Chains A and B, each alone.
Chain A
Amino acid sequence: MDAKSWLRKALGRGVKSPQRKSLPDGVWLKCDGCAAIIYRNELMRNLWVCPRCGQHMKVGAAEYVALLTDDGFEEEIAAGLISADPLKFKDSKSYKDRVKAATAKTGLEDAVVAGSASIDGVSVALAVMDFNFIGGSMGSVVGEKVARTMRAGLERGLPVVIVSRSGGARMQEGILSLMQMAKTAAMAARLREARIPFLSVLTHPTTAGVMASYASLGDVIISEPGALLGFAGPRVIRDTIKQELPEGFQSAEFFLEHGMIDLIVPRTKMRETVGRVLRHLAAPAPVAGE
């Protein structure tokens, strides 16, 4: 499949094509894990996992939708939500300009895309985050889109899958960003009451306000290998305890060892694993004679 039709597939029907800038241009790319120089098409075929060292490269939401779903989004959920600037926030740059720049860079409306889709034959409501949009941070739009994805699952009886990749809540919306944690957690409570399966997929990195809300609330939590996971950032912890952090601290493997996630699955097996888990949880009835 060539890159263009692959991208089209990734975005599904009715989704505007973003100018994908989440990965550097060029025919050859350097792996950030082992520094090997790899042919771009080979990397793409391997779902942006280094064939030499297994490094899972940070990919954008469009790429992830493509590799996780059978045929992209069928119909987008909560499209057209754009970040406002309720606090008129300004540091070295205004928040408005940051959003504008992020949109230009990624072609996305905000740090998450959502839609109905099929994963390994199972119909789901899916949301996928994009780190290139202000660090995948959660402001009002991300919180609302994640909540509406959950609501779509609730209303249509579809399992919910959320792929997280985020530095946490978005500072530029102040308290409103913090409240998105409560909003998404409340919807997770509703899903739980309704016994709708909710699967949380963690990718590098997932931390802070996102980790401390919906990302930690999946009925089953799956991480990609090597992902940085945690509540506080490593630098903040180092500054607080004033000592070096142990090797592998806050990795997916650390989380698995401490009982915080269900399993680690390589990206190349993610679609079939998500499908298998969902078929167990959402099975209508036991298969007779088995």
Chain B
Amino acid sequence: MLNPLSDFERNVRDLQAHIDELRNIAAKKGDGDAQVVNAALENLVSQTTHLRSRRYANLTTWERVQVARHPERPHTLDYVDMIFSDWVELHGDRRFADDPAMVCGLARLNGRSVAIIGQQKGRDTKKRIHRNYAMPHPEGYRKALRVMELAQRFHLPIVAFVDTPGAYPGIASEERGIAEAIAVNLREMAVMDVPILAIVIGEGGSGGALGIAVADRVLMLENSWYCVISPEGCASILWRTPEMAPAAAEALQLAAPQLEKIGVIDEIIPEPAGGAHANWKEMAAAIRDRLQAHLDELLELSGAELVQRRIERFSSVGVWHEKEKSS
């Protein structure tokens, strides 16, 4: 599919290459020449930053979808590595298998133990296949539930990293009850008496995303999307061609700023100039700050209050007209 951002990204990369080249030259030159080269360098760097911020400040909804899927964007385990310490990965649903498309484990956020669940994408072709493109089977959702129940038993907050095009639509998924696995997670997450934070870091595809996102706070990175169906899926059904995905993305209002306006998410975490992939460390630091801030607030509430508020939150979502009753 056409990626309107890729030309832009290529230009930025060329600029970056120029900068690197100049840096090399500057390193080899004497002091006087180095000053000239450095001035040129600084100019280029600020140009690049400026270009990026300007371009990324005016993304269309479809372009945001492309950024959310950017191959260099940090994935769940990248954030685990950058934000948390003491990570212990926990495998398997104790029923059927370990699903590499869903990662779960225990870690510390600024010293406090939490449980982490999240869909995991792969960085290269081999790993992408291993992770099944972050499309979990039922055992992925059941593993996540098992670890959430563990967290609840030992009073650990839960942090969910959402990044999936959707649950896997395949024969094995249906045989093992993908619908049931998701449904049970929705029901059980509603009544967990520990704080649950969900953050959409890339793609929030449909029930496969919601299956780990029934949370007290739902955060989104600026260039992530979250919707009832993928733009391609919607376009195939309503426009009868996936080529209309850009129009579908616009109509579905699936980008973070639109969802904040609709009122289904709590906060957008701004991305560094040029998107999360342009500066992983800055992105991770911002996420750590916001996770900690929300967790501090939630830790003030009792388990019963958390459940009460969570159920109220999801029970009040929806827009309709109510006719006056005549009889």
A33 within 8 A of B: no
Count how many chain A residues have C-beta atoms less than 8 Å from C-beta atoms of the other chain: 67
Inter-chain contacts of A245 with B (CB < 8 A): 171
Q: A87-B252, A185-B186, A217-B187 are in contact. Are A175 and B233 (CB under 8 A)?
A: no
Which residues between 292 and 327 of chain B lie within 8 Å of chain A, taking CB atoms?
310-311, 314-315, 317-325, 327
Shortest Cβ distance from residue A12 to the other chain B in the assembled complex, whole angstroms: 13
Kindly list chain B residues whose C-beta atoms are within 8 Å of the C-beta of A216: 177, 179-180, 183-184
Known contacts A140-B318, A241-B170; is-contact A175 B179 (Cβ 8 Å): no
Least CB distance from B324 to A in Å reads 7
Verify if B116 is at the interface (C-beta below 8 Å from A).
Answer: no
What are 21 A-B interface contacts by the 8 Å CB criterion?
A80-B325, A81-B323, A87-B253, A89-B251, A92-B239, A144-B318, A176-B319, A178-B207, A178-B228, A179-B317, A185-B183, A185-B186, A189-B191, A209-B207, A212-B183, A212-B211, A216-B177, A230-B179, A237-B169, A241-B171, A260-B177
Interface residues of A (CB under 8 A from B): 14, 79-84, 86-87, 89-92, 109, 139-141, 143-144, 147, 169-171, 173-183, 185-190, 192-193, 208-209, 211-217, 230-233, 236-237, 240-241, 245-246, 249-250, 254, 258-260
Using A82-B323, A237-B169 as known contacts, say yes or no to A92 and B238 having CB atoms under 8 A apart: yes
- Closest A residue to B211 using CB positions: A212
Chain B binding site: helix, strand, loop or mixed by DSSP?
A: helix
Q: With a CB–CB cut-off of 8 A, which chain B residues contact A232? A: 169-170, 173-174, 178
Q: A169-B228, A237-B174 are in contact. Are A176 and B262 (CB under 8 A)?
A: yes
Residue contact A82 to B190, C-beta cutoff 8 Å: no
Complex Cα gap A237–B135 (Å): 13
Q: Is the CB of A181 within 8 A of B264?
A: no
> Could you give, for residues 247-265 of chain B, a 1 whenever the CB lies within 8 Å of some chain A CB and a 0 otherwise?
1100111100001001010
CB contacts under 8 Å to A, within B216-234, are 226-229, 233-234
Residue among A14, A89, A91, A233 with the most chain B CB within 10 A?
A91
Chain B residues touching A, range: 35 or more
B169: chain A residues at CB < 8 Å are 231-233, 236-237, 240
Contact of A84 among B228, B320, B325 (CB under 8 A): B320
- Kindly list chain A residues whose C-beta atoms are within 8 Å of the C-beta of B186: 181-182, 185-186, 212-213
Q: Nearest chain-B residue to A257 (Cβ)? A: B175
Q: Which residues of B contact A (CB under 8 A)?
A: 167-171, 173-180, 182-184, 186-188, 190-191, 206-207, 210-211, 214, 226-229, 233-234, 237-239, 247-248, 251-254, 259, 262, 264, 310-311, 314-315, 317-325, 327
How far is it, in angstroms, between the C-alpha of A222 and the C-alpha of B210 when the chains are bound? 26
The residue that B314 contacts in the complex, of A82, A84, A186, with Cβ under 8 A, is: A186
| Beyond A80-B322, A179-B317, A240-B169, 20 additional pairs, beta carbon < 8 A | A80-B324, A81-B323, A82-B321, A83-B320, A84-B319, A87-B251, A139-B318, A171-B228, A175-B262, A178-B207, A180-B317, A181-B207, A186-B191, A208-B179, A209-B206, A212-B182, A214-B183, A232-B170, A236-B233, A237-B171
Contacts of A259 in B (CB 8 A): 177
Asked if residues B227 and A178 are in contact (CB atoms below 8 Å), the reply is yes
Q: Which residues on the B side are within 8 Å of A141 (C-beta)?
A: 318, 320
Expressed in whole angstroms, the Cα–Cα distance for A254 and B175 within the complex equals 8
A211 touches B179 (CB 8 A): yes
User: Which residues from chain B contact A183 at a C-beta distance below 8 Å?
Assistant: 314-315, 317-318
Whether B320 lies near A140 (C-beta < 8 A) is yes
B316 closest partner in A (C-beta):
A183
